[in-house]
Amino acid sequence: MIRVPPVARSPVSFMTYLARACLSGMLACLVAQIACGAAPAKELAVTIDDLDINSDDTPRLDLDQRDQAILSALRREHIKAALFVCGMRVDNDAGRRHVAAWNQEGHIIANHTYSHFDYPEVGYQAFSQDALRGEQIVSGYSGFQKLLRFPYLKEGATVEQRDQMRQFMTAHGYRNGYVTIDASEWAIDERMRKRLAGHPDADLSAYRDFYLEHMLSRADYYDTLARQVLHRPIRHTVLIHANLLAALYLPDLLTAFKSHGWKLIDAQQAYQDPVFSKTPDTAPAGESLVWALAKASGKFDAVLRYPAEDSVYEDKRMDALGL
Ligand SMILES: [Zn+2]
Protein backbone atom coordinates (compact mmCIF):
# COMPACT_ATOMS: atom_id res chain seq x y z
CA MET A 1 0.00 0.00 0.00
CA ILE A 2 1.30 3.44 -0.91
CA ARG A 3 1.13 6.07 1.82
CA VAL A 4 -0.15 9.36 0.58
CA PRO A 5 2.37 12.06 1.44
CA PRO A 6 0.92 15.07 3.27
CA VAL A 7 1.46 17.25 0.23
CA ALA A 8 -1.15 15.31 -1.76
CA ARG A 9 -3.94 15.82 0.74
CA SER A 10 -4.70 19.49 0.32
CA PRO A 11 -2.70 22.72 0.09
CA VAL A 12 -4.07 23.89 3.44
CA SER A 13 -3.08 20.81 5.39
CA PHE A 14 0.30 20.76 3.68
CA MET A 15 0.94 24.30 4.85
CA THR A 16 -0.12 23.31 8.35
CA TYR A 17 2.19 20.31 8.14
CA LEU A 18 5.05 22.55 7.00
CA ALA A 19 4.40 25.07 9.73
CA ARG A 20 4.39 22.32 12.36
CA ALA A 21 7.57 20.80 10.94
CA CYS A 22 9.30 24.18 10.93
CA LEU A 23 8.12 24.97 14.42
CA SER A 24 9.31 21.65 15.80
CA GLY A 25 12.58 22.08 13.91
CA MET A 26 13.05 25.53 15.38
CA LEU A 27 12.25 24.23 18.84
CA ALA A 28 14.72 21.38 18.38
CA CYS A 29 17.41 23.86 17.35
CA LEU A 30 16.65 26.08 20.30
CA VAL A 31 16.73 23.13 22.72
CA ALA A 32 20.02 21.94 21.19
CA GLN A 33 21.49 25.43 21.50
CA ILE A 34 20.53 25.70 25.13
CA ALA A 35 21.71 22.14 25.85
CA CYS A 36 25.10 22.63 24.18
CA GLY A 37 25.52 26.20 25.38
CA ALA A 38 26.03 27.10 21.75
CA ALA A 39 27.18 30.63 21.05
CA PRO A 40 24.60 33.12 19.83
CA ALA A 41 24.93 34.07 16.22
CA LYS A 42 26.89 37.33 16.40
CA GLU A 43 29.37 38.22 19.14
CA LEU A 44 31.81 41.08 19.40
CA ALA A 45 34.27 42.53 21.87
CA VAL A 46 35.37 46.14 21.98
CA THR A 47 39.05 46.95 21.55
CA ILE A 48 40.20 50.53 21.97
CA ASP A 49 43.30 51.92 20.28
CA ASP A 50 45.51 54.88 20.89
CA LEU A 51 44.55 56.30 24.22
CA ASP A 52 44.43 59.18 23.50
CA ILE A 53 44.42 59.73 19.74
CA ASN A 54 43.07 63.30 19.95
CA SER A 55 45.24 66.06 21.26
CA ASP A 56 44.56 67.07 24.85
CA ASP A 57 41.73 69.41 24.10
CA THR A 58 38.75 68.83 21.89
CA PRO A 59 35.59 70.91 21.81
CA ARG A 60 32.77 69.73 24.10
CA LEU A 61 34.84 67.29 26.21
CA ASP A 62 38.32 67.61 27.65
CA LEU A 63 40.77 64.72 27.94
CA ASP A 64 39.50 63.50 31.32
CA GLN A 65 35.87 63.76 30.29
CA ARG A 66 36.48 61.82 27.08
CA ASP A 67 38.27 59.08 28.94
CA GLN A 68 35.55 58.86 31.58
CA ALA A 69 32.81 58.81 28.95
CA ILE A 70 34.35 55.83 27.13
CA LEU A 71 34.99 53.97 30.36
CA SER A 72 31.46 54.55 31.60
CA ALA A 73 29.96 53.35 28.29
CA LEU A 74 31.79 50.04 28.77
CA ARG A 75 30.86 49.87 32.45
CA ARG A 76 27.20 50.39 31.62
CA GLU A 77 27.28 47.32 29.36
CA HIS A 78 29.30 45.29 31.88
CA ILE A 79 31.96 44.48 29.32
CA LYS A 80 35.74 44.46 29.55
CA ALA A 81 37.60 45.79 26.54
CA ALA A 82 41.21 45.49 25.46
CA LEU A 83 43.06 48.80 25.50
CA PHE A 84 45.91 48.94 22.99
CA VAL A 85 48.22 51.60 24.35
CA CYS A 86 50.50 53.62 22.11
CA GLY A 87 53.32 54.47 24.52
CA MET A 88 54.17 57.98 23.35
CA ARG A 89 50.57 59.14 23.80
CA VAL A 90 50.48 58.26 27.50
CA ASP A 91 54.12 58.79 28.52
CA ASN A 92 53.30 61.57 31.01
CA ASP A 93 51.48 61.88 34.34
CA ALA A 94 48.02 62.37 32.88
CA GLY A 95 48.54 59.47 30.49
CA ARG A 96 49.68 57.12 33.24
CA ARG A 97 46.67 58.13 35.33
CA HIS A 98 44.35 57.26 32.47
CA VAL A 99 45.91 53.87 31.79
CA ALA A 100 45.72 53.14 35.52
CA ALA A 101 41.98 53.89 35.49
CA TRP A 102 41.46 51.41 32.65
CA ASN A 103 43.55 48.85 34.45
CA GLN A 104 41.59 49.31 37.65
CA GLU A 105 38.32 48.63 35.86
CA GLY A 106 39.59 45.27 34.64
CA HIS A 107 40.22 46.01 30.98
CA ILE A 108 43.10 44.26 29.24
CA ILE A 109 46.13 46.55 28.87
CA ALA A 110 48.04 45.71 25.69
CA ASN A 111 50.87 46.95 23.49
CA HIS A 112 50.35 49.17 20.44
CA THR A 113 54.10 50.07 20.21
CA TYR A 114 55.66 53.29 21.51
CA SER A 115 55.89 55.50 18.43
CA HIS A 116 53.06 54.18 16.23
CA PHE A 117 55.47 53.51 13.35
CA ASP A 118 54.24 52.17 10.05
CA TYR A 119 56.09 48.82 10.09
CA PRO A 120 56.68 48.52 6.31
CA GLU A 121 58.13 52.03 6.30
CA VAL A 122 60.62 51.74 9.18
CA GLY A 123 61.58 48.07 8.87
CA TYR A 124 62.16 45.28 11.34
CA GLN A 125 64.95 46.67 13.55
CA ALA A 126 63.29 49.98 14.32
CA PHE A 127 59.82 48.48 14.62
CA SER A 128 60.69 45.57 16.92
CA GLN A 129 62.73 47.85 19.20
CA ASP A 130 59.83 50.27 19.32
CA ALA A 131 57.47 47.43 20.27
CA LEU A 132 59.76 46.64 23.24
CA ARG A 133 59.82 50.31 24.17
CA GLY A 134 56.02 50.29 24.12
CA GLU A 135 56.03 47.24 26.37
CA GLN A 136 57.94 49.16 29.05
CA ILE A 137 55.06 51.64 29.27
CA VAL A 138 52.37 49.02 29.86
CA SER A 139 54.06 45.97 31.37
CA GLY A 140 53.75 47.22 34.95
CA TYR A 141 49.94 47.13 34.99
CA SER A 142 48.22 44.08 36.48
CA GLY A 143 45.97 43.77 33.45
CA PHE A 144 48.86 43.72 30.97
CA GLN A 145 48.74 40.95 28.41
CA LYS A 146 51.23 40.26 25.67
CA LEU A 147 48.99 41.18 22.78
CA LEU A 148 50.59 43.33 20.08
CA ARG A 149 48.55 45.43 17.69
CA PHE A 150 50.29 46.75 14.60
CA PRO A 151 49.69 50.45 13.88
CA TYR A 152 47.45 50.87 10.82
CA LEU A 153 47.14 47.04 10.94
CA LYS A 154 50.20 46.81 8.68
CA GLU A 155 52.13 43.63 9.48
CA GLY A 156 54.86 43.70 6.86
CA ALA A 157 55.23 44.57 3.19
CA THR A 158 56.90 41.27 2.27
CA VAL A 159 56.82 37.69 3.48
CA GLU A 160 60.29 38.20 4.98
CA GLN A 161 59.28 41.31 6.90
CA ARG A 162 56.03 39.70 8.07
CA ASP A 163 57.82 36.59 9.31
CA GLN A 164 60.50 38.59 11.13
CA MET A 165 57.85 40.11 13.37
CA ARG A 166 56.01 36.78 13.71
CA GLN A 167 59.23 35.20 14.98
CA PHE A 168 59.83 38.18 17.25
CA MET A 169 56.36 37.81 18.76
CA THR A 170 56.85 34.09 19.35
CA ALA A 171 60.26 34.70 20.94
CA HIS A 172 58.81 37.37 23.26
CA GLY A 173 55.62 35.50 24.13
CA TYR A 174 53.32 37.81 22.17
CA ARG A 175 50.10 37.07 20.35
CA ASN A 176 48.77 39.31 17.60
CA GLY A 177 46.04 41.60 18.95
CA TYR A 178 44.07 41.09 15.77
CA VAL A 179 41.12 43.19 14.72
CA THR A 180 38.37 41.32 12.88
CA ILE A 181 36.02 44.28 12.36
CA ASP A 182 37.92 47.25 10.99
CA ALA A 183 36.40 50.60 10.05
CA SER A 184 37.23 54.21 9.31
CA GLU A 185 35.54 55.89 12.29
CA TRP A 186 38.69 57.98 12.84
CA ALA A 187 37.83 59.82 9.61
CA ILE A 188 34.36 60.70 10.90
CA ASP A 189 35.94 61.97 14.12
CA GLU A 190 38.34 64.14 12.12
CA ARG A 191 35.53 65.76 10.18
CA MET A 192 33.40 66.26 13.26
CA ARG A 193 36.20 68.02 15.15
CA LYS A 194 36.89 70.19 12.14
CA ARG A 195 33.25 71.24 12.09
CA LEU A 196 33.30 71.97 15.82
CA ALA A 197 36.45 74.04 15.47
CA GLY A 198 34.56 76.48 13.25
CA HIS A 199 31.09 76.01 14.76
CA PRO A 200 31.25 75.09 18.45
CA ASP A 201 27.46 74.80 18.67
CA ALA A 202 27.05 72.64 15.57
CA ASP A 203 24.38 69.95 15.59
CA LEU A 204 26.32 66.68 15.56
CA SER A 205 23.46 64.25 15.02
CA ALA A 206 24.40 63.59 11.38
CA TYR A 207 27.91 62.55 12.48
CA ARG A 208 26.40 60.26 15.06
CA ASP A 209 24.05 58.68 12.53
CA PHE A 210 26.84 58.14 10.02
CA TYR A 211 29.04 56.63 12.74
CA LEU A 212 26.41 54.10 13.78
CA GLU A 213 25.53 53.17 10.22
CA HIS A 214 29.19 52.85 9.21
CA MET A 215 30.12 50.65 12.17
CA LEU A 216 27.07 48.40 11.79
CA SER A 217 27.70 47.97 8.10
CA ARG A 218 31.40 47.11 8.58
CA ALA A 219 30.49 44.66 11.37
CA ASP A 220 27.99 42.86 9.18
CA TYR A 221 30.40 42.85 6.23
CA TYR A 222 33.18 41.18 8.23
CA ASP A 223 30.78 38.78 9.92
CA THR A 224 29.38 37.61 6.59
CA LEU A 225 32.90 37.28 5.16
CA ALA A 226 34.06 35.32 8.23
CA ARG A 227 31.23 32.81 7.82
CA GLN A 228 32.05 32.41 4.13
CA VAL A 229 35.76 31.87 4.78
CA LEU A 230 35.63 29.81 7.97
CA HIS A 231 32.18 28.21 7.62
CA ARG A 232 31.32 29.13 11.19
CA PRO A 233 30.61 32.25 13.21
CA ILE A 234 33.62 33.73 15.02
CA ARG A 235 34.00 35.96 18.04
CA HIS A 236 34.83 39.39 16.70
CA THR A 237 37.08 42.18 17.92
CA VAL A 238 35.97 45.60 16.73
CA LEU A 239 38.50 48.43 16.54
CA ILE A 240 37.39 51.74 18.02
CA HIS A 241 39.74 54.66 18.54
CA ALA A 242 39.73 56.64 21.77
CA ASN A 243 38.52 59.93 20.32
CA LEU A 244 35.79 62.51 20.74
CA LEU A 245 33.39 60.56 18.50
CA ALA A 246 33.67 57.49 20.75
CA ALA A 247 33.40 59.61 23.88
CA LEU A 248 30.15 61.15 22.65
CA TYR A 249 28.54 58.19 20.94
CA LEU A 250 29.95 54.88 22.18
CA PRO A 251 26.85 54.33 24.36
CA ASP A 252 24.64 54.76 21.27
CA LEU A 253 26.89 52.48 19.23
CA LEU A 254 26.81 49.68 21.78
CA THR A 255 23.02 49.98 22.01
CA ALA A 256 22.82 49.86 18.20
CA PHE A 257 24.97 46.74 18.06
CA LYS A 258 22.67 45.02 20.53
CA SER A 259 19.52 46.01 18.71
CA HIS A 260 21.03 44.58 15.51
CA GLY A 261 21.51 41.16 17.06
CA TRP A 262 25.06 41.49 18.37
CA LYS A 263 25.98 40.13 21.76
CA LEU A 264 28.65 42.20 23.51
CA ILE A 265 31.36 40.06 25.10
CA ASP A 266 34.64 40.62 26.95
CA ALA A 267 37.82 40.96 24.91
CA GLN A 268 39.32 38.10 26.92
CA GLN A 269 36.50 35.84 25.75
CA ALA A 270 36.86 36.95 22.14
CA TYR A 271 40.60 36.28 22.00
CA GLN A 272 39.98 32.68 23.09
CA ASP A 273 38.43 31.95 19.70
CA PRO A 274 40.90 29.71 17.81
CA VAL A 275 40.68 32.06 14.84
CA PHE A 276 43.07 34.41 16.68
CA SER A 277 45.95 31.95 16.51
CA LYS A 278 45.86 31.91 12.72
CA THR A 279 48.71 33.38 10.67
CA PRO A 280 47.31 34.16 7.21
CA ASP A 281 49.71 33.74 4.33
CA THR A 282 49.43 37.15 2.69
CA ALA A 283 51.87 39.89 1.64
CA PRO A 284 51.51 42.74 2.20
CA ALA A 285 50.36 41.33 5.54
CA GLY A 286 47.78 42.80 7.86
CA GLU A 287 44.33 44.42 7.63
CA SER A 288 41.41 42.79 9.44
CA LEU A 289 42.18 39.16 10.29
CA VAL A 290 39.03 38.16 8.43
CA TRP A 291 40.14 40.11 5.37
CA ALA A 292 43.57 38.46 5.49
CA LEU A 293 42.12 34.96 5.83
CA ALA A 294 39.79 35.65 2.91
CA LYS A 295 42.72 36.95 0.87
CA ALA A 296 44.89 33.95 1.74
CA SER A 297 42.16 31.55 0.63
CA GLY A 298 42.44 32.94 -2.91
CA LYS A 299 38.68 32.69 -3.32
CA PHE A 300 37.66 36.29 -2.77
CA ASP A 301 40.06 38.28 -4.94
CA ALA A 302 37.19 39.61 -7.02
CA VAL A 303 35.51 41.25 -4.02
CA LEU A 304 38.37 42.23 -1.68
CA ARG A 305 39.56 45.84 -1.85
CA TYR A 306 42.96 47.10 -0.68
CA PRO A 307 43.41 48.68 1.72
CA ALA A 308 40.44 46.96 3.29
CA GLU A 309 39.33 50.14 5.06
CA ASP A 310 40.20 53.75 4.45
CA SER A 311 38.65 57.19 4.53
CA VAL A 312 38.63 57.29 0.72
CA TYR A 313 35.77 54.80 0.71
CA GLU A 314 33.66 57.02 2.97
CA ASP A 315 34.59 60.50 1.74
CA LYS A 316 32.08 60.66 -1.09
CA ARG A 317 29.11 59.85 1.13
CA MET A 318 30.31 62.12 3.92
CA ASP A 319 30.73 64.93 1.37
CA ALA A 320 27.21 64.31 0.08
CA LEU A 321 25.82 64.45 3.62
CA GLY A 322 27.68 67.70 4.28
CA LEU A 323 29.71 66.18 7.11
ZN1 LIG B 1 46.81 53.09 16.29
What local confidence, expressed as pLDDT, does residue 257 receive? Answer: 98
How far is ligand 1, taken at its centre, from the CA of residue 81, in Å? 16
Distance (Å) of CA 157 to CA 93, 160, 162, 165: 36, 8, 7, 11
pTM: 0.87
* CA 254 from centre of chain: 12
Burial 100-120 (b: 16+ CB within 10 A, else e): eebbeeebbbbbbbbbbbebb
What local confidence, expressed as pLDDT, does residue 38 receive? Answer: 53
Distance (Å) of CA 198 to CA 27, 159, 215: 57, 46, 26
How far is ligand 1, taken at its centre, from the CA of residue 295, in Å? 23
Handedness of CA 104, 107, 113, 117 (dihedral sign): negative
Cα angle, residue 116 at apex, residues 274 and 208 outer, rounded to 5°: 75
Bond preceding residue 52 cis, omega within 30 of 0 = yes
What local confidence, expressed as pLDDT, does residue 40 receive? Answer: 54
How far is ligand 1, taken at its centre, from the CA of residue 241, in Å? 8
How far is ligand 1, taken at its centre, from the CA of residue 7, in Å? 60
How far is ligand 1, taken at its centre, from the CA of residue 53, in Å? 8
What local confidence, expressed as pLDDT, does residue 31 receive? Answer: 43
| Residues 309 and 174 sit within 8 Å (Cβ to Cβ) | no
Residues in the chain predicted with pLDDT less than 50, given as ranges, are: 1-37, 39
What local confidence, expressed as pLDDT, does residue 58 receive? Answer: 87
Residue 15: count of CB within 10 angstroms of its CB: 12
How far is ligand 1, taken at its centre, from the CA of residue 5, in Å? 62
Cα angle, residue 106 at apex, residues 105 and 108 outer, rounded to 5°: 125
How far is ligand 1, taken at its centre, from the CA of residue 50, in Å? 5
Distance (Å) of CA 192 to CA 59, 206, 240, 312: 10, 10, 16, 16
Residue 274: count of CB within 10 angstroms of its CB: 9
- In sequence order, the β-bridge partners of residue 312 are none
Alpha-carbon Rg of the chain, whole angstroms?
A: 23
Helices (H), the chain: 6-9, 11-36, 63-76, 87-90, 93-104, 119-138, 159-171, 185-198, 205-230, 244-259, 267-270, 289-297, 312-320
The DSSP output letter for 308 is S
Give the relative orientation of helices 244-259 and 63-76 as an angle to the nearest 10 degrees.
Answer: 10
What local confidence, expressed as pLDDT, does residue 51 receive? Answer: 84
How far is ligand 1, taken at its centre, from the CA of residue 242, in Å? 10
What burial class does residue 142 get, using C-beta atoms within 10 Å of its C-beta: 0-12 exposed, 13-18 middle, 19+ buried? exposed
Q: Does domain 43-320 have CATH number 3.20.20.370?
A: yes
Distance (Å) of CA 315 to CA 99, 187, 192, 219: 33, 9, 13, 19
